[in-house]
Structure 1
């Protein structure tokens, strides 16, 4: 795919800089700082390799919005693009941007504070692009680093690339076995980070969001955070308890990033409940490496453990599941019709989210897979499971 992309670009006269295998946020940082007009990332993100595709980035390192992607697709389908002559192809060169990216992140955190703590950290890049950044970055910051699934392999032999609790059991066991202070897992392109506490407990991404939203509201001048409707009450209550405002968007990092850009300096942080956090003081994209360093910095700053930090957050239980659906649009319309009278409040910003007294249910079509996702959150795990079963049952009935 890389060879095809490079060849296609050169054949239209475009100059190409090949960065090799790097995390998506590393490529986006280079695109933004190198005066490039655009960037392309070949990735399946958190998905298995059969979902590889092209992620298109504008000159500021931000994913193109949907209308621009539609425009590009239309140009391609109409073949309304130029061909350079055989003697005028675009130029090609390789370059290494990892050093520049690591240096930029190191400059954003308190290096001495982290080195003074000297935490033992287990890093699980999942054989993905984070293998050549996060372990070296943390070592430079003064951490003792142990790596599992650290060799690059795009078939992901160590585990499925999505860093959800069921896929990172080896990381949890390793953290507990060697008495580490915490563990970090990335997805395939390392724009997400999932954390494991000192006792081996894997955390969901909403915990990371809540901790960093709270910290950024305390440190930055603004008072607003941006997050999709898939985020829940653990995040919302934390923000409101610290005097912040929430702007909700549809699910997807592009929607979050574009809304953050629109809000400007009033926005201190943004992100999704899957471990993808966007730091506007650095760049408008999810960044797993910076998220990792800022969580470690926060623990060092509070002189506590990750487990104790999470105990300070509102207590809710989340369930995430999905079901394969061939016709997502038709099925979702039936689901929305079936659930139209449920709950105390509803929103259809993305799929349908139904609010109940102390819980909620979100059903939405995936933007990257032939599945419909079900998210639930409640004060008890039993109620969250009950809502999840209700969502699955509704979708199955709508599929018939």
Structure 2
């Protein structure tokens, strides 16, 4: 099957004025406008300093095709997606999500609020490569308008999906680190609406992400972890640059891996007969939980749009990835950091237990992650893996998943960077780390 060349796992990304130029942005903008063929197209951006440049380039290109552009502001990607779903119009998000500040990107959103599928991405690329752009006559060129209601619409929708009254009565003590990204206003405000006692870190827009790196990994959350170790708070929360992901710190200051927070939220959200969707990179803990609850688990290739499409096709209630990206189908079919945050508040309120005690109920698996630079083509790497580890069971749903005696390792090319990602899991921490090192060393020496 043909794969998109410009669109990666989550849109087009690159370094401004290097591999992501305004010429490329305008060409893609024209292709998007041509593909959606008239009407209105919403556009938003995160806080990156190159956001205005790319937003204006894409917007002007879309208008040249005869579509009207509605700028809805600086807000999380799921905020734009909810607006698109609510209004029934497509959209474009200018973001590089968790990538460092020197990156930016372009993500296309469908009329139902989901990220466009691969087939649509290929059609947009074909329009771009063939310069098959629609060009409106002077009197039919699109207009540019601003709609300030998107942020309020999004925040109110999040609050409406949880037990607002109970959470307000619980009055949880929460620390949130928005990392100078797109959630700097929305997530602290949602917490305030839910009557939490809120301490905010880095809740100011800063396109250089001066306070910390955008990806919410433990090494980037030193300040948040330090505050949580004071023992004065119930929950620590952190987002990435565009806030489609959310990770947590427990009341003792311990970082909670994304696979564990996903398992915890799934366990306290699903009922018998429900369907859960997750990529092959997710923890086996989810399979155990679904079996225990009488729910069905469906595994897919890695990528939030792929998970979302599978959820729609199978009428799944919840899904997500091990990186803190949870998709709550009852709200919208996309990763949503604020919705994930609200679901965690909801279960803490109803269970009336600490986060650490709730995590003790989750099947205990350890996941080790690493990456190496991709020096050869993926097809060459895949062939070498199959030849050198031919005696082991393998799965090729996405990349190569190799099963060892008491665990597994998934090896796949990143859709956003020129690296190979390596995920290893086992009930034994030492084995997970051993498996990860074995395959990392093999790939590094190719």
Please report how far the alpha carbon of residue 49 of structure 1 lies from its aligned counterpart in structure 2 after TM superposition. Answer: 2.9
Aligned length: 392
Please report how far the alpha carbon of residue 354 of structure 1 lies from its aligned counterpart in structure 2 after TM superposition. Answer: 1.4
What is the 5 A alignment of 1:208-223?
208-218=261-271, 222-223=273-274
8 A Cα contact 2:278 2:307, kept in partner: yes
Asked if 1:181 corresponds to 2:234, the answer is: yes
Return closer, same or farther for 1:347/1:13 CA change in 2, 3 Å cut-off.
same
Asked if 1:74 corresponds to 2:126, the answer is: yes
Please report how far the alpha carbon of residue 189 of structure 1 lies from its aligned counterpart in structure 2 after TM superposition. Answer: 0.5
- Corresponding residue of 1:324: 373
What is the 5 A alignment of 1:222-241?
222-241=273-292
Paired residue secondary structure (2:204):
coil
Return closer, same or farther for 1:373/1:342 CA change in 2, 3 Å cut-off.
farther
Structure 1 residue corresponding to 2:309, chosen from 258, 263, 273: 258
8 A Cα contact 1:222 1:268, kept in partner: no
- Corresponding residue of 1:395: 443
Residues 81-105 of structure 1, C-alpha deviations (whole Å, 9 max, x = no match): 1212234320111112111111111
- Corresponding residue of 2:300: 249
With structure 1 as the length reference, what TM-score do the two structures score?
0.95
Residues 282-303 of structure 1, C-alpha deviations (whole Å, 9 max, x = no match): 1100011011011011011001
State how far apart, in whole Å, the 1-side matches of 2:164 and 2:386 are.
Answer: 53
Paired residue secondary structure (1:180):
coil
State how far apart, in whole Å, the 2-side matches of 1:178 and 1:144 are.
Answer: 14
8 A Cα contact 1:184 1:195, kept in partner: yes
What is the 5 A alignment of 1:279-294?
279-294=328-343
Paired residue secondary structure (1:61):
coil
Consecutive unaligned residues of structure 1, counting only runs of 5 or more, are none
What is the 5 A alignment of 1:44-193?
44-96=96-148, 97-177=150-230, 179-193=232-246
State how far apart, in whole Å, the 1-side matches of 2:405 and 2:372 are.
Answer: 26
Consecutive unaligned residues of structure 2, counting only runs of 5 or more, are 1-53
Structure 2 residue corresponding to 1:308, chosen from 323, 336, 357: 357
State how far apart, in whole Å, the 1-side matches of 2:197 and 2:73 are.
Answer: 27
State how far apart, in whole Å, the 2-side matches of 1:250 and 1:134 are.
Answer: 29
- Corresponding residue of 1:351: 399
Please report how far the alpha carbon of residue 341 of structure 1 lies from its aligned counterpart in structure 2 after TM superposition. Answer: 2.0
- Corresponding residue of 2:19: none
State how far apart, in whole Å, the 2-side matches of 1:251 and 1:64 are.
Answer: 15
State how far apart, in whole Å, the 1-side matches of 2:72 and 2:377 are.
Answer: 36
8 A Cα contact 2:101 2:214, kept in partner: no
State how far apart, in whole Å, the 2-side matches of 1:366 and 1:8 are.
Answer: 29
Residues 243-295 of structure 1, C-alpha deviations (whole Å, 9 max, x = no match): 2221100000011001011102xx22110010100011111000110110110
8 A Cα contact 2:66 2:142, kept in partner: yes
Paired residue secondary structure (1:384):
helix
8 A Cα contact 1:165 1:204, kept in partner: no
What is the 5 A alignment of 1:337-376?
337-343=386-392, 345-376=393-424
Please report how far the alpha carbon of residue 168 of structure 1 lies from its aligned counterpart in structure 2 after TM superposition. Answer: 1.2
State how far apart, in whole Å, the 2-side matches of 1:245 and 1:340 are.
Answer: 31
Paired residue secondary structure (1:153):
coil
8 A Cα contact 2:231 2:252, kept in partner: no
Paired residue secondary structure (1:216):
coil
- Corresponding residue of 2:382: 333
Please report how far the alpha carbon of residue 117 of structure 1 lies from its aligned counterpart in structure 2 after TM superposition. Answer: 1.2
8 A Cα contact 1:328 1:372, kept in partner: no
8 A Cα contact 1:332 1:365, kept in partner: no
State how far apart, in whole Å, the 1-side matches of 2:192 and 2:318 are.
Answer: 26
Please report how far the alpha carbon of residue 331 of structure 1 lies from its aligned counterpart in structure 2 after TM superposition. Answer: 4.5
Please report how far the alpha carbon of residue 385 of structure 1 lies from its aligned counterpart in structure 2 after TM superposition. Answer: 1.1
Return closer, same or farther for 1:78/1:222 CA change in 2, 3 Å cut-off.
same
Return closer, same or farther for 1:128/1:113 CA change in 2, 3 Å cut-off.
same
Asked if 1:43 corresponds to 2:95, the answer is: yes
Paired residue secondary structure (2:398):
coil
Quote the RMSD (CA, aligned, Å): 1.4
With structure 2 as the length reference, what TM-score do the two structures score?
0.85
- Corresponding residue of 1:298: 347
State how far apart, in whole Å, the 2-side matches of 1:324 and 1:309 are.
Answer: 37
Please report how far the alpha carbon of residue 335 of structure 1 lies from its aligned counterpart in structure 2 after TM superposition. Answer: 4.1
State how far apart, in whole Å, the 2-side matches of 1:187 and 1:203 are.
Answer: 15
8 A Cα contact 1:205 1:274, kept in partner: yes
